[in-house]
Amino acid sequence: MPTWLVIIIVIAAVLVVGAAAWFVVAEQRRRRLRETFGPEYDRAVKEHESPREAERDLSSRMKRHSDLDIRPLPQTTKDRYAQEWALIQEQFVDRPSGAVVEADRVLVSLMAERGYPTEGYDQQLADLSVRHANAIRHYRAGHDTLERHRESEMSTEDMREAMKHYRVVFEDLLTDGGEGAETHGKQASGNRGNGTADHGTRRGDDGSARRGSDR
C-alpha cells in the first residue's frame, strides 16, 4: 500500500474519531444544560438564532453564577422575610397593587441577601435561571403583570395571580426548594408577642387575605 494512501487513511481515521468525540462532548454539554435549565433551555433556543448560540449563552450564565457568592440564609433571616411576606399578604385585601409592588421589592431584597446582583431585571433572570430555573417563569409572569399594571390598571384578580407567581419565587429563593415559606410564616407569627390576627379574613391560593365569603 502506498505511503500516501496510508497517510490519508490515518488522517481520515483521526478526523472520524475527533468528530465522534466532539459529538459526544457536545451531547453531554447539551444534556447537562437541559438538566440545569429545564424549560429555560428551550426558551433560550427560541430566543437565539441557533441551539449553539443558546448553549453558549447558558454556559456563560453558569460560568457567571459560579463566580457569585451565593449563600444560604440563617434561620433568623428566613423568619424575618417570612414575617415581611405575611404582612404584604395581609395588605393585599385593601391594597392589591401596592402589595404586588411590595412583593416585587422584597424579592429583589431577598436576591441581594442571598448574594445575587440586582443591577437589572434581565440580569436577575439570567442569574436566577441557573439555580432556580423552575421559578423563573413565575418571576416573569408576576413581573410582566406588574409592568402592565403600571401602564394600564389591571384587575384585582390579575394582581392576585401576580402574587401567586411571586410567592413561588419567594419560597424558592428563601429555601432553595426546601421547606416552604408558609411554615416559616407560621413560626414567625407564633414568635411575635402580639401576633397578627386575621380578623375574619381567610387566605387564597396565593396566601393573600380575603374578607368574608368573597371568592
Print the SS3 string covering 38-58: CHHHHHHHHHCCCHHHHHHHH
pLDDT value of residue 209: 47
pLDDT of 194 > 70? The answer is no
Mean pLDDT over residues 153-157, rounded? 90
pLDDT value of residue 11: 81
In this structure, how many other beta carbons lie within 10 angstroms of the beta carbon of residue 210?
16
pLDDT band at 60 (very low <50, low <70, confident <90, very high): very high
User: What proportion of the chain, given as a percentage, has pLDDT over 70?
Assistant: 77
Q: Which three cell numbers stand for residue 102?
A: 411590595
pLDDT of 154 > 70? The answer is yes
pLDDT of 137 > 80? The answer is yes
Beta bridge partner(s), residue 203: 209
Dist. CA 176–CA 45, nearest whole Å:
26
Q: Which three cell numbers stand for residue 36?
A: 440545569
pLDDT of 4 > 90? The answer is no
pLDDT band at 9 (very low <50, low <70, confident <90, very high): confident
pLDDT of 30 > 80? The answer is no
DSSP codes, 152-211: SPPPHHHHHHHHHHHHHHHHHHHHTTSS-HHHHHHHHHHHSSS----TTEEE-TTS-EEE
Beta bridge partner(s), residue 209: 203
Dist. CA 165–CA 182, nearest whole Å:
15
208: which DSSP letter? Answer: -
pLDDT value of residue 102: 96
Dist. CA 137–CA 125, nearest whole Å:
9
Please state, in angstroms and as integers, the Cα–Cα distance from residue 150 to each residue in 98, 143, 145, 161, following that order: 11, 11, 9, 16
Dist. CA 132–CA 128, nearest whole Å:
5
What tens digit of pLDDT does each residue of 73-126 get?
999 999 999 999 999 999 999 999 999 999 999 999 999 999 999 989 999 999
pLDDT band at 189 (very low <50, low <70, confident <90, very high): very low
Q: Is the dihedral of CA 106, 111, 117, 122 positive or negative?
A: negative
pLDDT value of residue 27: 67
For all residues of the chain together, what is the average pLDDT?
81
Q: Which three cell numbers stand for residue 213?
A: 365569603
Dist. CA 82–CA 36, nearest whole Å:
28
pLDDT value of residue 195: 35
